[in-house]
Structure formats: C-alpha cells, structure tokens
Amino acid sequence: MAKQFVYSFEEGNKDMKNVLGGKGANLAEMTALGLPVPPGFIITAEACAEFYSLGKKYPQGMFDQVELKLKELENKMGAKLGDPNSPLLVSVRSGAAVSMPGMMDTVLNLGLNDLSVEGLAKKTGNERFAYDAYRRFINMFGDVVMGVEHKHFEAVLDSLKETKGYSFDTELAAEDWKKVCAGYKDVVKKHTGKLFPNEPKEQLKMAIDAVFNSWNSKRAIAYRRIHTITGLLGTAVNVQTMVFGNMGDTSGTGVLFTRNPSTGENKLYGEYLMNAQGEDVVAGIRTPKHIDELKKQMPIAYDELQKIYLKVEKHYKDMQDMEFTIQEGKLFILQTRRGKRTAMASVRIAVEMVKEGLITKREALLKIEAGQLDQLLHKQLDPVAKEKAKVVAKGLPASPGGAVGKAVFSAERAHELAKEGEKVILVRLETSPEDIEGMHASQGILTARGGMTSHAAVVARGMGTPCVAGCSEIKIEEPKKLFTVGGETVKELDYLTLDGSTGEVILGKVPVVDPVLSGNFGTVMEWAREAKRLGILTNADTPKDAQTAANYGAEGIGLCRTEHMFFEGVRIKAMREMILADTLEGRKKALAKIEPMQKADFKAIFKVMDNKPVVIRLLDPPLHEFLPKEEAEIEHMAMEMNVTKEKIKRTISDLHEFNPMLGFRGCRLGISFPEITEMQAKAILEAAIECRKEGFKPIAKIEIPLVGHVKEFTMQKEIVEKVAGSLGQKRGKDYWVGTMIEVPRAAMTADEIAPEADFFSFGTNDLTQMSCGFSRDDAGRFLGAYVEAGVYERDPFQSIDQGGVGMFMELCIEKGRKIKKDLDIGICGEHGGDPESVKFCHRIGLSNVSCSPYRVPIATLSAAQAAVEENKK
Amino acid sequence: MAKQFVYSFEEGNKDMKNVLGGKGANLAEMTALGLPVPPGFIITAEACAEFYSLGKKYPQGMFDQVELKLKELENKMGAKLGDPNSPLLVSVRSGAAVSMPGMMDTVLNLGLNDLSVEGLAKKTGNERFAYDAYRRFINMFGDVVMGVEHKHFEAVLDSLKETKGYSFDTELAAEDWKKVCAGYKDVVKKHTGKLFPNEPKEQLKMAIDAVFNSWNSKRAIAYRRIHTITGLLGTAVNVQTMVFGNMGDTSGTGVLFTRNPSTGENKLYGEYLMNAQGEDVVAGIRTPKHIDELKKQMPIAYDELQKIYLKVEKHYKDMQDMEFTIQEGKLFILQTRRGKRTAMASVRIAVEMVKEGLITKREALLKIEAGQLDQLLHKQLDPVAKEKAKVVAKGLPASPGGAVGKAVFSAERAHELAKEGEKVILVRLETSPEDIEGMHASQGILTARGGMTSHAAVVARGMGTPCVAGCSEIKIEEPKKLFTVGGETVKELDYLTLDGSTGEVILGKVPVVDPVLSGNFGTVMEWAREAKRLGILTNADTPKDAQTAANYGAEGIGLCRTEHMFFEGVRIKAMREMILADTLEGRKKALAKIEPMQKADFKAIFKVMDNKPVVIRLLDPPLHEFLPKEEAEIEHMAMEMNVTKEKIKRTISDLHEFNPMLGFRGCRLGISFPEITEMQAKAILEAAIECRKEGFKPIAKIEIPLVGHVKEFTMQKEIVEKVAGSLGQKRGKDYWVGTMIEVPRAAMTADEIAPEADFFSFGTNDLTQMSCGFSRDDAGRFLGAYVEAGVYERDPFQSIDQGGVGMFMELCIEKGRKIKKDLDIGICGEHGGDPESVKFCHRIGLSNVSCSPYRVPIATLSAAQAAVEENKK
C-alpha cells in the first residue's frame, strides 16, 4: 500500500506537527474538537521531502491521493473545483512544523476561472463580488506562484481607476472588475510568456509545486540556517475550502481573545466587521466594532462563538486568539492560537485560571513570559500618546521603562538641574563611573556608544532608570550642548522622551504611566518561590538598591561592587589621592580616609540584608577610571588637590592602556597594592563585627575579582585572612572568601581553585568578552550583523552563549565540584536577569543567580519555570 | 635496625640525589671515581624530613650515626675534631636534590676553638694562618648559624686596622688575628647573649640544626613556592674535611674547564692562584695565572689534573667545570659540574664529542641549550668594550643582538637618514604598522612601551633587528626629538647602542661583532632535522623573510600576515581609500588596486617556498591601524586623497575602540566586508595558478583569523570556495582553508570547527591574552611582579603557560582530532620559537610549529631535543 501523503482535517491532531506542519495539525485539532472549521486536507511534509529526493517530482501516488481527498471535499461541500454552477474555491498555504518566514504565503480563491467565476456570481448572486474575487486570485497566484511582481498588477488597476476617475476600489462595478481581470491575465502573459492557467487542477498542482519549492527559497534556507533549524522534513501544504465574510450583511469576519489581552479580565474581547474580509480589518479603512455588539447584530452566531471560546480555552488551557468568519449567517473558525497579552493580563489570567481550577499553580507559572514582567516594574510611556509621538532614532533597549525630561549633556549639569527640581535626561557619548551622581539624578539616560552591558546600561538597570544605549544615529556635540539626528537638533533643556523597553528616542514629551503591582503579581511570585530551586540574589551596591531588591524577594546580594562607592565627592578625592601617591605611606594615608566610609556602607547593606549572604567584590576597575578626562576637570582636580596639572597628566598617561578590559584591574590591583585589599577586608570585617554587636547576623562573603590563576587567588586570600586573624575572625564561620570566574583560564583550572575558595561566582560579562574575544563596548559594530547572520542566535551579552561560554561554565562546575561536591557556585553577570540564561543556570546546576534589583522577579519566575519544566520531563 | 641517616662519601653515588642532595651525591660520585676528594659524610634529606615531623628533633639514632661517621673520618684523616695537636677541620653545607637559594650557605673551618687553633698552628707551623682561619670561622658561624650580622664583625676588624694604621688584611700579624678572634667572640656574646661554642661537637650540632632550619627559611619557602618545587624531603647536610690552598707556596687553588668554554676547543682551560683560597680568586685582588703555567710550576699536580679531567669528562660525557685545591703539593678536587659555555663552544663541543666517539648524535643534541643559538645568528656587542660602556637603562630583551646607530624619533626620519647611508636607532613610545619602513631602515629599535609581543618586538624579531622594548625608564619627547634617562638627555643624531639580548640601553658607541656560522652549526642542524618529529615552519610576510627562514631550514610558512603588505606607500593609500569608501563599489574599486600587488607578493613567496606549505592569513588588524594618528599626517592624507580632514577624523573617531584587541578585526572584517575576503582569496589563488603555470608547486593554505564560532569560519570559507570555484580550483587539491585557534571559544568548540577546517593553527599570543585576560601591551605593568611573585613561572607571552593556555591547546587537540584523526594542527604565536614551548608542542602532539626566521634553528633543535627526550623515557 502506498504511504499516506494526504490527510483530511478529520484524520489529524495537534501532535502531528512533524507530518502535517503546525498550521495543519491545529486545523485538524479544531476539527476534532467539533469546531466549525471549513473542511480541507493536508499534503504532508514527508511528501515534500520525497519531492526533493526525487528531483522535484511528486512521490508515487501522491497526486492520486490529493484527487481522492479533493473528491471527498467536493462531495462534502456539494461543490466542485472549477464547476461553472457550484464552484468549490480553496485556499492553499504552506506550513512546516516550525513557523518559518520566507516560504510561500497564501493563495486564496483557487479554483476560479472564466467559467467558474460565473458560477460564483450565480451562486452568490453577486457578480461584482465574483469578479473582485477572481482578480484577487489572478493577482495572488500570478505573484506568488508565477513570480510576477505585484506592482505590475497594481499598475493595471491604477490606470483603470484614473481613466474612470475613481478614487476608491469600492467605486469599481462588476464590469470594471471584469476588465481588471482581463488586464491581469495580460500582465501574466506579458511577464511570464505563459497564459494564466484556466484548468483548476493545474492551478492546484502549480500551487502545490510553489509551496514545495518555497521550502528551499533563499530566504527560507537562510532562516533555517540562522535559527539552526535542522531535522525538518519539509513543508506541508494546506488546502482548505474558502469561506467569505464579504458576502453581504449576514457575512462578516473578526478576531477575538478569550480573555482581555490588556487587563486579563475573564471576558470575551474582540472586534469584527460585517461584510468584510480579513484584509479589510487589517487595512483599517473601516473601524471594527466591539465583539459585544455582535450579540445584538447576530445573536445566534454570537452564542455559538461563546460556546466555542469556552470549549477551546478549556481544551488548550490558555487564553486563545481566534479568527472567525461568518458567511451568510454561518460561523466558521479559521484559526486559534495562544493569545498574546500584556504582563498584567498574563499574571491575572494565570492566577484566575488556577482559581477556576483550569490549571495548577505550577502550570500557571509556565503561562507567564518571564521577560515581560519588566512591564510591571517600570514606568511606561502612555501607549496611545506614544503612537502619535515622533520617534527620531532607535538605540539598544538597555534599561526598560519610559522617561521624559530636559536634555542635558553632562553629569554635573544633570545633578545641578535635578537639585533645582528639574527632570532631566542625560545624553552622553558614553558614561563612565564618574557620571554616577548625574545618572542617579536623571530620569533617563541616552548614550551614543556602548552595548547592552556598557557602563550606562549596567548602571541604569541597577538603578531602574530607563536607558537607551549605543544610539549611533544621534551625533552628539558635547561642547556645544546639543545633538543632531535626522536633520533635527536637540539643544540643552529641550524635552526628550526615551522608551528604554524598545530603544526608541522621541522628541518632545510623551506622558508616562506609573507601574501598578497587583495582588496577582504577589501571588505569582509566591508560587514561583515555592517552585524554584535556584537561589535568587541581587547585584546591589547601595543600601537603597539592596532594599529595592529585598522588596522584590532577593535572598541576598550576589554582587556588591565596592568601586561604585568610591565615586562620590569626598571619596573620589581620597581615591585620587591614593592613585597619585608615590609611596606606600601616601597610599595608606589616603586609604585610611576611605575605610570608615566603606565600613559605614557595608554596615548599612548588612543591615538591609540581615541574615542573608552579601558577596562583596574587592576593587575591580582600572584606576584611570577614577581620574578626570577633560582639561577643565584636570585643572579643577589639580587645584583641589594642590598638585600640578602635569603630575595629574603624567599619572593619566602612565595609566593609559591599550586594552583596559585586559589591563591593570581586578585582583591585579590588590596584588600590586596589597594595602587596598587590606583596607577593604578590614572595612568589611569590622562592619560585620559591629553589626553583630548590634544584634544583626551579617553573612559576609569577600570576592576576589579577575582571578585567572589559583595563585592570584591565594595571594589575595592570604591578605584577607591576615586581616581577619588580627580581628579574631575565622574563615568559614565569620566570613568567606571566594572568587569570580570570569577569566577563561580560571574556568579551565577550577579544580585548582576550588580547594582554596569558599565559593565561585561566574562573571559572565567578562567571561563572554574573553571567551568569544569581543569587547562589550566595541561589539556593537559587528554583533548586530552577527546575530542577523545567525552566528550567535542571540546577543551573547544579553543571553548566555550556551554553546560556548556555557560550555566553559559547565567545565568549571564539573572541575570545581569534582573537588568540592557542594561548592557554592553562582552567577552575577548581567545574564542573571535573562530568562533563558536563568533556565540554563538551573539546568547546569548553579546554586544561585544574581541580577539587578528590578530583574529579581523575572529571575525568580524563570528559575521556577526551569524547575517546573525539569519535573515535567 | 635503625634507618641509615648518614652516609660516608664512599657509600653514595650520583643517582642518590633525593636522599643525599645534589651536592652530596656528586661528592660521592667523584669519590667512587677515585678522585682525590677530601673525605666526609652526608646526613640525608630524610633525616631533615623526620626532624620536622618530630617537632624539630633529631630522629632516633641520627646523631649516633653522625658520631660514628665522624669517628671513621677522624681515623682516616689521623686527626680529631677539636684535638689540640692534630685537629680535624670540616666544612658544613646544605644541599637539597634541587639547587635552591635561600638555604644555609657554608660554614668553613668548623672544629676550631681556643685549643685546637693552637693545634692547627703547630701542625701547619703557621700561627698567623691558624688565627686567620679561626676568625673566619667565628665570623661565618656567628653569622650563618647564630644570626649575628656580618657588619658587626667587620666593625671590629676595621677598628683594629684603623688603630694599627693598616690598609690591607695582609698587614695583620698572628697577634693581630688573635685580637680579632677575641673581638669577634665578644661580638657574638653581645648580640646573642651567648658564648661562642667552644665544644666542636656542639658546633657541629648547631651547624646541622642551622642547615635543617634553613630548609624552612622564608626565602627557601618562597623559592619553592615560586618554582613550584614540591615533593622534596628536605635538605641533606654535607660534612667534609677542610683542605687549604693558602698554606704556602706549594698550596694553591683554581678552576678549570675541560674544554675551552668560549670556543669549545678541546684543550684544558682554567686559572689558578698559588697560596690562596677560593675567595681570593673571586675577589680579583690578585690576577690568576693560566692553567698551562701550572705545568711548569707544579708538574706533578698538573699531570694528575690532566688525568682527572680526562676521566671526569669521559665519565660525565660533558665538558666539566671543576674546582681544585692543592694543599702542600697534594691535589684535591672539590667540585665538578657541567661547564657553562657559549653557543659557539656548545656546538663545537657537541660535534667533536660525537667525532671522538664519546657520545651519540642524539646525545649531542641534548648538550646544546637551544635558546643560546641566538648568539650565533645575530651581531653581538663586543663583550670587552661593553664592559666599560655606560648602561643607562634596561628594557625588555625583545629581539636579540647588538646595534649601534644615531638616535632618531620617527620612522620617516629613520628612512630618510638610512637612505643617506646613516646607521640609525629608531626610538619610539611604541611602534605601529605604519612605521614598518622606518623599522626596516634601522639598526635597532627602542620603545618605551609594550611587552615582548608588542608590535615593535614581533616585527623586529621577524626582521632579525635588535630591539629593546618597554623601556619605561626613558622619557621620550617626540616633538622635541629627544629622550631623557637618569639625568642624561639623548637628542636626535646622538649615538646610542642597544643590546637586544639583555635589554640594555647604552649611551655612545660600542663596537659590534658579526656572527659567524661554523660548519659545526650546520652539522648540528642536520642531526636535529633527522631527530625531530615536529614540522618547523616560519612566520614570514615577505619573500626576503621567507628566504632567510628557508636558509635556516624552514619547511614552509606557518604564518604569512597579509596586512604587513598593506603598509607601503601606494598600498596604504589604496587601503585608506577602501576604509574611507562609503559604498561597496568604492571599496571594491580600492581593493582592485591592491589585488595585483598582493598577487605579486604571494607569487614571490610561493616561489621561495616552492613545494612547501604557505599558510596565508587573511586581513587581521583593526582598520584604524591603517589611519594616521597625528594632526600633520591627517592633513597630509587629506590633501593626498582629496578628502576633507573632517571626513578622515570622523572615520578615525568612528573606528575608535575601547579594547581594539577584542574589537572589529580578524574574520569580523571579512564578515562585514566580504569583498576584502574575496579580493584576498582571488589574489592568493591566482598567484598559485600562475606559479603552477611557471612550473612551480605552490601549496596555498588560506587561514581565517579570530574565529570563535564555527559559523564565522564557514561563512568565510564559503566566500573563499566561491572565488575558488570561479577559478576552477578545488579545495583539498589546489588549496586548503583552515583557521587560527586563538579565541578560547574556538578551542572549546574545536569539535564543531574541525569537520569544516583543513587545518588549525594556534595563535598563542591572542589565546594567551584572552585565556588569561591580560593584554600583551598592557601586561608590562604587572606581569613582572607576577613572575616575581611566582604566579606564572615564566612570562606567559614568552613561554606557553602550560598549566592554563596549554590546557586549552590540549582540549582543542583532543576535540579536534576526535573528529579528524590526522588534523594538521600547528602553532604560529611567538611561542613557536621558545624552546620550552616547542617541547610542549611536541609532547601534546602538534604537527608543526612556526616561528620568526631567526628562531628556526632554535625551534629545530628544541623539537629534536623533545623527540630525543621522549625516546629516552
């Protein structure tokens, strides 16, 4: 017996995606559910595969099966393909197991020819409708199947409209459409040298060929390469009876959501248009009506719709987005799929479905897209107002949320104006640590350079401040205090709006909406905390950040960067004094000034994170970051510190580096200047001691950055232990010493480091930079092109490059835990807040992830989802 | 029976180093050979280990054994420790299995006290000698064993000399030395609160304790940590009868080499002094005589020495460096060890020993220190003249050899003056590719910044030009055309001398000696080529470099950097045109100008390396390297290219990168601008085609740089294959495409890349930078301190960091060869010319190494040594 190459909708179900494609499997599923789906059949992906292996020939018996299924369909519909009295019309669509752009789109109205169009006219009693449908068919078929560009058809229509003096298509009468049809056929003849096929079976064959061929179109191949889609057989072909929503006043078409996709309210939501086709709803010429009105207009259809939506939602256990068409009073369902929704809706639907008993708590967690939660935590631009706003440039969506304010071009100015009560947007080529105060004072930050993990981006996310980074379209002239973009000039104090969630830059003011956290959000978070296995920590450098994170449920601090504490007024002065000092004594004197300030910081942080681990990283950035860059600032610093400008310039020049990322930073600072490590260890440990005296339970974990060789770690650990010894503190009881794993060599030699270290924490920003060999601040130039070309599926600075950097992590874990079975291993790179990365961290067995405060909910939910998914297996 | 803790010299041999220490084992070996070694015994390293495990107590029975051996010694010598008539005097020395500074030095003359000193006086008939020996003992023992600083003893002697009005020690009479002895004992009392030990056995015990304790001195522990010396038991203690070369005119002491250590001539070579001790030879107050004169002066001793040296050399099968003492006509041998020698001597000795039948060819290869061969290939500063020269600064010995010339401060000026016939030394802050012509024109290169693999260093080594890099002591003021160093100013045209082998910078002119390559060198190289398994390729960018390397025996080119070809006059103009072009057409137009030049280069190189593989790397450096930096140059370029300065500045600013090493370079260029790859592939393949037509057999291997992800490789390979297809060339037959492995991610995913690539080549410079996370140009700031602190045993840019970077290499080989068993894997980083690294490459199974032309002999010999060592196992 020949293989089955063709299935009627009745023969399939949603689990047959590999054979029937996603679209076909879903049509079959709905048919099985008893929904009024226009009947049809599916040619399998296997047929497509054989088509190719046979050198583009149909496999033996395939077309016989098509004819058989077509016959069945004709019988069922009481109509016949090409019949001059009762013509059957069908649509033909491609559909692989995975949705894939680049393949053939839709051909509608197949089966029409010069005879059957008359049949359609007779049957519908609407000649105009019939010829309109016919010309649509010729256009689509000519374009999609025969390769004639759409514009040639358009020209025929335009010329007729001009001759007749028509402005709108609606003005064309049946006769006009007839002429258009003739003109269209001439176009086909002219551009292909072939007559437009009159025989419906030939039309069908040609359409099937076109679908099969489109599987290997350039775009489809590229798409599969880019998304590393392999193992698919080919595309299936869906042949389905046409239904028409534009057959008069008892016809219509619409879209509905089983719950409100904006709010999540459990109430049918949707729009429809009477006497219209799907395209008309999309085109937006007529304004669709709210679905509630259908109840009055077509109560029977509405009731049926009600029943269907309840059934479908219950069946799929999720809010559905459905398309329907009513043809002369009869309801048809053309599609159902998971409905897109806002974060707010997502959370509400999940919680309410649990209450309704439709799903379990654990299932509910999987219904929410973790990344979306950002919407709930940040101010958003008013969506209606934004639609009218003028987007002048697009950068990277570096820190989510909407921000409005007056443009300023220096951190000082931002600070100044903010003090006066102004709302400002800080615009910089790039930011540096000395801009921190100004960044804090700003509503939003816009930079022309730098990527998703540039300084501006990282700091902004930490603060929860919206940020658009690496917006290279804007040309900033800092001395002139302005930037230009697309011919417009934005001067200081001009209003500017940023959408940090999309990367859009808008001139003028767009109103901003505050986030509202519902009780449902709390419920979901509670469920997530119950379900997850990973610890969720936060990256926080200040008591304020720590508090924010704690409010969102952070279970400790996974990364406290001490250097950010060095940038404020008095501190940076002391820091600079240390850098300029030529002697050990000089450095110690300067450090002694910083110590009490650091201690106070740590005390405050320990108190916020009482009885929770606090991982404090020792000084990390290259020292030149603490020195000014501009002449005026150098002059000011010289005066303030009573040294010559030349001395400062010489120091700056001495500290100049070709590749600062790979330069004199991290533990190299503490190894060259042990007094820095001593001071920091002392500040941390004394803070802990004092907190303990006050009744708190600080858990101090000291982290050595940029270790590549175990000896770097042990040398720094020895210093910490010596300080601790002098304070009577015991490692493993009063404090812990661990290391960042951010240098590939450290990952590779984890079995040497593990015996010495109390914990590891992956610094995946730097690990990515060094493993892949690109600087996060420079990668913007090519990383976009790389992602586009499919080298990396996602920006590896946003989502862990699992096939590369991830392998280093796995190797490190394997080597480290071979030595210490329960070694505490976390991650504190920016990836700790990326849903896919969090799930990856769960799978490879990390102990915890740490992310910026505002991403704690996302990380929590992602961790829970990973746990639920794991158990499902 | 108790364990044997003490061995007489007669009981040991040279293979017992672990028990007896190196020194003791060697003394035993010589004793066994029947050489006149002053008798003695050795306390084992095991005893030391037990001493520590017992809480610093002697193991049971140890001292009994010492006393027993002492008794035997006394009997043999007919003298007794502390005997007032015939006192035995001994030396006590430490000696572990590995030579290790930081442990206790020597105590001589042990056994002297107020009584036995008289015995010595009587026995020798020389009271002055006896008390001189006594005071030397008190001083040494007081210092080394009892911890009294030498300066306190010195003060007593100085004060006596002042009182007496003496200038020299020789003026002191016996009575004076007696007073000094008394004074010295007071010093000990004063500084230790204890009396100087009078009892010889107590002296011996204290000395043994001191040796044992010194095993765990701070310095010794640090030394072991730094050199990762583990697994040693402890130190042995050598107790040996004293002999004296200063007992009158029939006594003497000397040093001899069994062959001439400068030339290698097979003739006894050495110096001696009559009536003197070893210290006197070293002090240089008297001028030693040539060993030949001993024949006349003491013919019997000389004859004995002749016999001994022949015996010892035959026994050790190597040229020996021996110390001897003649005590009243009787010859004693105190030490023999492998003699240090020049490269020339090394080669000659090895070849002649084979001719003499003393060693085999393969053994001969192990006698030569590969790294030393550099001496034979480069001009050297005249050693005598250099001694008097004024070394004003020391930088890194970046490219070996001596160079003299007039200082110039720009590459243009160097070029200009060289054309006029001047010899110049180019002095720069750092060099960049645009300095190439000027570098070529210079005798030597001196830079203030950059490490051993900085641009200047790499290029200079390639050219064989001496270079001192990273000499931060010199302060260059380029605009003023001068530099200052230690108060001196060097202006343009002042003479300057560089020693690139040591990193020394000398003011003025030092004569330079040309290298001479002897026939012996050729013989050794021939043997080495027979013995080695690794292929030896060269890094060469020009036909000239390729020829140099071929002359030294290079078997092909492992790295031809195409970018260096872009820097000359017309080419850089075309290159800049390409960079400035805004359109694809513009770029293609500029590239079309470069193509024929590149093709001509490749043809010339293929011809030099006929029938040998030539690996050509596609464009690698960031584009900004091709643009000028200085205002004047920018202006000149603007004029020349007829564009505005602003346009150039904008391009420079656009191309600015934070970390260019991790920036827009390598295959990222070819991925963003495929037309560059196309042009280069075309030039290479057409060159090969044309060469083939002319009867040559080019083996063209195209190398894609900076690949981190297999897709980067395949995308570039596709371009090459397309070009090749259009030229009718077949991969695997007419050309090959492979990749650098220099990004850690590439090493980690070698199993994904291997199926696609025809060969791998480790770029260990970049692999080290990225694996360890330090930029080679910036690491100077801390890498010295790191090596000193023992983090890395050697500069990882000079010698492969085997425990880190080496593991990446091994992982890569394992993953790559798992897929392709015979995958051709080489190395083309600077490490390819480092002996230890070459041996490592042999051990991990690389196919070949590639190094700069002048290091080909070193790599060849190292590879041969690795092969010989492997077979020995």
Position A206 scores a pLDDT of: 96
Chain A hits for B709, CB-CB cut-off 8 Å, are 772, 791-792, 804
pLDDT tens digits, one per residue of A60-82: 999 999 999 999 999 999 999 99
With H, G, I as helix, E, B as strand and everything else as coil, classify residue A92: strand
Chain A nearest-CA residue for B810: A748
Active site residues of A: 455, 828
Q: How far is B259 from B267, CA to CA, in rounded Å?
A: 5
In this complex, do A662 and B660 lie within 8 Å of one another by their Cβ atoms? no
Active site residues of B: 455, 828
Q: Of the candidates A664, A672, A749, which has its C-beta nearest B803's C-beta?
A: A749
In this complex, do B659 and A801 lie within 8 Å of one another by their Cβ atoms? no
Q: Mind telling me how many Å the CA of B774 is from chain A's nearest CA?
A: 4
Q: Which value, in Å, is the radius of gyration of the alpha carbons in chain A?
A: 33
DSSP A458-494: HHHHHHT--EEE--TTSEEETTTTEEEETTEEEETT-
Q: How far is B643 from B628, CA to CA, in rounded Å?
A: 14
Identify the residue whose tokens are 């085997």.
B802
At residue B607 the predicted structure's pLDDT band, cuts being 50, 70 and 90, is very high
CB B177 within 8 A of CB B134: yes
Q: Mind telling me how many Å the CA of B746 is from chain A's nearest CA?
A: 8
Instruction: Determine the average pLDDT of the residues in B502-531.
Output: 91
Q: Mind telling me how many Å the CA of B650 is from chain A's nearest CA?
A: 11
In this complex, do B772 and A805 lie within 8 Å of one another by their Cβ atoms? no
Position A675 scores a pLDDT of: 95
Lowest mean pLDDT among A49-63, A459-473, B397-411, B525-539: A459-473
Chain A nearest-CA residue for B804: A745
Position B780 scores a pLDDT of: 76
Chain A hits for B789, CB-CB cut-off 8 Å, are 671, 711, 715
Taking alpha carbons only, the member of B197, B523, B140 closest to residue B351 is: B523
* Residue B394, pLDDT above cutoff 80: yes
Q: Of the candidates A712, A771, A778, which has its C-beta nearest B663's C-beta?
A: A778
Q: Of the candidates A777, A785, A803, which has its C-beta nearest B658's C-beta?
A: A777
CB B507 within 8 A of CB B488: yes
Residues 6+ apart with CB under 8 A from A732: A758
At residue B348 the predicted structure's pLDDT band, cuts being 50, 70 and 90, is very high
| SS3 of B525-540 | HHHHHHHCCCEEEEEC
Task: Tell me the two tokens of residue B750.
Answer: 């070698």
CB A425 within 8 A of CB A442: yes
DSSP A303-341: HHHHHHHHHHHHHHTS-EEEEEEEETTEEEEEEEEEPP-
DSSP letter assigned to residue B196: P
The strand pairing partners of B735, in sequence order, are: B700, B731
In this complex, do A744 and B770 lie within 8 Å of one another by their Cβ atoms? yes
* Residue B183, pLDDT above cutoff 60: yes
Instruction: Determine the average pLDDT of the residues in B1-10.
Output: 88
Position A400 scores a pLDDT of: 87
pLDDT tens digits, one per residue of B139-162: 999 999 999 999 999 999 999 999
CA angle, residues B587, B591, B594, in degrees to nearest 5: 155
Q: How far is B621 from B641, CA to CA, in rounded Å?
A: 22
pLDDT tens digits, one per residue of B450-461: 777 678 887 888
Position A628 scores a pLDDT of: 87
Chain A nearest-CA residue for B226: A711
Q: How far is B319 from B304, CA to CA, in rounded Å?
A: 18
In this complex, do A659 and B772 lie within 8 Å of one another by their Cβ atoms? no
Chain B hits for A791, CB-CB cut-off 8 Å, are 671, 709, 711-712, 715
Torsion angles phi and psi, residue B200, rounded to 5: -60, -40
Strands (E), A205-329: 236-241, 252-257, 269-274, 289-290, 320-327
Q: Of the candidates A743, A771, A801, which has its C-beta nearest B772's C-beta?
A: A743
In this complex, do A748 and B658 lie within 8 Å of one another by their Cβ atoms? no
Would you say the pTM of this structure is higher than 0.90? Answer: no
Task: Tell me the two tokens of residue B774.
Answer: 């330090």
Position B285 scores a pLDDT of: 62
Q: Which residues of chain A have pLDDT under 70?
A: 1-2, 226-228, 279-285, 453, 873
Position B683 scores a pLDDT of: 97
With H, G, I as helix, E, B as strand and everything else as coil, classify residue A7: strand
Q: Of the candidates A661, A773, A791, which has its C-beta nearest B711's C-beta?
A: A791
Q: What is the four-CA torsion angle of A229, A233, A239, A245, rounded to 10 degrees?
A: -10
In this complex, do B771 and A708 lie within 8 Å of one another by their Cβ atoms? yes
Position A550 scores a pLDDT of: 95
Taking alpha carbons only, the member of B233, B236, B234, B277 closest to residue B254 is: B277
pLDDT tens digits, one per residue of B356-378: 999 999 999 999 999 889 888 88
Task: Tell me the two tokens of residue A321.
Answer: 């987005």
Residues 6+ apart with CB under 8 A from A362: A527, A531, A868, A871
Identify the residue whose tokens are 């060819």.
B361
In this complex, do B775 and A658 lie within 8 Å of one another by their Cβ atoms? yes
Instruction: Determine the average pLDDT of the residues in B855-864.
Output: 96
